[in-house]
Amino acid sequence: MQIEEIVISKAILQSYFRKLCESLETQVAIVGGGPSGLTAAYFLAKGQVKVSIFERKLSLGGGMWGGGMMFNQIVVQREGREILDGFGVSTEEFSPNYWVADAVEAVSTICSQTAKAGAKIFNLISAEDVTIKEGKAIGLVLNWTAVETAELHVDPLCIKAQFIVDATGHPAKLAGVIQGKVGLKISSQRIVGEGPMWAEAGEKAVIENTREIYPGVFVTGMAANAVFGGPRMGPIFGGMLLSGKKTAELIQKRLQDNP
Ligand code: 48F
């Protein structure tokens, strides 16, 4: 059987552009493919919602790969373990309410399940801005991360979404952009910044802080604690998974109320 280089190139280009063009108008666009963004995308896709993830790095998984201080095991509490179970990630009880999982198995399985559930995943693309019309966010402004890294003067492209999710972790990138340009619609009116390490409080806060911060924009995962001043929690990941799930539920409810 002959193998032609040009056919390989055509296969990549045509299938990529089909995927990208189909995602130009979507129901939910998630920025950041860490544990919270992936989990939100998984539950949305399972619920038949059209969802895309845009991740600036080559690999998805965010801060989950390295466990704690590069010891690549992660810890979850009971509720987090239930979510890992649902993904099919193996866990082992360490002591009551503490389960450990292999970080590499966790990330690779969550990524695989999210893609198989139907989420469209784009890596190497950064969200640099949000499109806002008449007081509502309606899309993302995207560029290749390589353009940003090389500081090339290249204009971005835009996609349209009914809902946007800031899942960018500690930097809370989209919240920062919105705060700088039009202001956030939250009681503090500004990003408070994450609090000092306190695992138990941080895990509780990240779920409470998962909410809409501007019409059409939700914040999830560590970005939620960064916006509202919740503590950091280090390598316990249940809160990230539960925050992602809550994001999916909040958005699904909104889509049902207002299709
Ligand atoms: O940092 P990250 O893993 O965020 P998370 O889902 O989880 C936090 C934990 O990993 C850990 C923790 C608690 O256990 O404190 O840190 O909240 O993943 C965020 C992802 O967003 C990407 C970034 O590369 C990472 O993979 N990202 C950040 N900015 C952008 C972006 C951007 N502007 N465009 C696209 N992706």
Q: What is the CATH number of the domain that holds 137?
A: 3.50.50.60
Mean per-residue pLDDT for 68-77?
A: 98
Are the C-beta atoms of 114 and 55 separated by less than 8 Å?
Answer: no
pLDDT of residue 240: 98
Over 90: is that where the pLDDT of 199 sits? yes
Number of the ligand 1 atom closest to the C-alpha atom of 244: 6
Mean pLDDT of the chain: 98
Whether 175 maps to a domain, the answer reads: yes
Tell me the pLDDT tens digit for each residue of 181-195: 999 999 998 999 999
Tell me the pLDDT tens digit for each residue of 49-67: 999 999 999 999 999 999 9
Q: Whose CA is nearest to atom 1 of ligand 1?
A: 169
Phi, psi of 142 (to 5 degrees): -120, 150
Of the candidates 219, 243, 250, 229, the one whose C-alpha atom is nearest the C-alpha of residue 36 is 243
Whether 20 maps to a domain, the answer reads: no
Torsion angle, alpha carbons of 251, 111, 122, 237, to 10? 60
Whether 16 maps to a domain, the answer reads: no
DSSP 24: S
Over 90: is that where the pLDDT of 258 sits? no
Please name the residue that has the structure tokens 């509780």.
204
Whether 11 maps to a domain, the answer reads: no
pLDDT of residue 92: 98
Q: Whose CA is nearest to atom 9 of ligand 1?
A: 63
Q: Whose CA is nearest to atom 22 of ligand 1?
A: 32
Residue list, ligand 1 pocket, CB within 6 Å: 31-37, 54-57, 62-64, 126-127, 167-169, 171, 173, 221-223, 232-233, 235, 237, 240
Task: Tell me the whole-structure pTM to 2 decimals.
Answer: 0.98
Tell me the pLDDT tens digit for each residue of 78-125: 999 999 999 999 999 999 999 999 999 999 999 999 999 999 999 999
CA 57 vs. chain centroid, Å, equals: 12
Of the candidates 141, 137, 142, the one whose C-alpha atom is nearest the C-alpha of residue 214 is 137
Over 80: is that where the pLDDT of 259 sits? no
Q: How far apart, in whole angstroms, are the C-alpha atoms of residue 73 and residue 59? A: 18
Count of CB atoms within 10 A of residue 251's CB?
A: 26
Number of the ligand 1 atom closest to the C-alpha atom of 170: 1
Q: How far apart, in whole angstroms, are the C-alpha atoms of residue 76 and residue 87? A: 14
Domain of 96 in residue numbering reads as 28-257
Tell me the pLDDT tens digit for each residue of 126-177: 999 999 999 999 999 999 999 999 999 999 999 999 999 999 999 999 999 9
Whether 6 maps to a domain, the answer reads: no
Q: Are strands 217-219 and 157-166 parallel, antiparallel or unpaired?
A: parallel
Higher pLDDT, 259 or 238: 238
Whether 2 maps to a domain, the answer reads: no
Number of the ligand 1 atom closest to the C-alpha atom of 202: 13
Count of CB atoms within 10 A of residue 96's CB?
A: 7
Amino acid at 224: A
Q: How far apart, in whole angstroms, are the C-alpha atoms of residue 175 and residue 75? A: 28
Angle at CA of residue 64, ends 195 and 27, nearest 5°? 85
pLDDT of residue 189: 87
Q: Name the domain count of the chain.
A: 1
DSSP, collapsed to helix, strand or coil, labels residue 212 as strand
C-alpha 63 – ligand 1 centre gap (Å): 6
Whether 13 maps to a domain, the answer reads: no
Whether 100 maps to a domain, the answer reads: yes
Q: How many residues does the chain have?
A: 259
Q: How far apart, in whole angstroms, are the C-alpha atoms of residue 93 and residue 29? A: 35
Over 90: is that where the pLDDT of 235 sits? yes
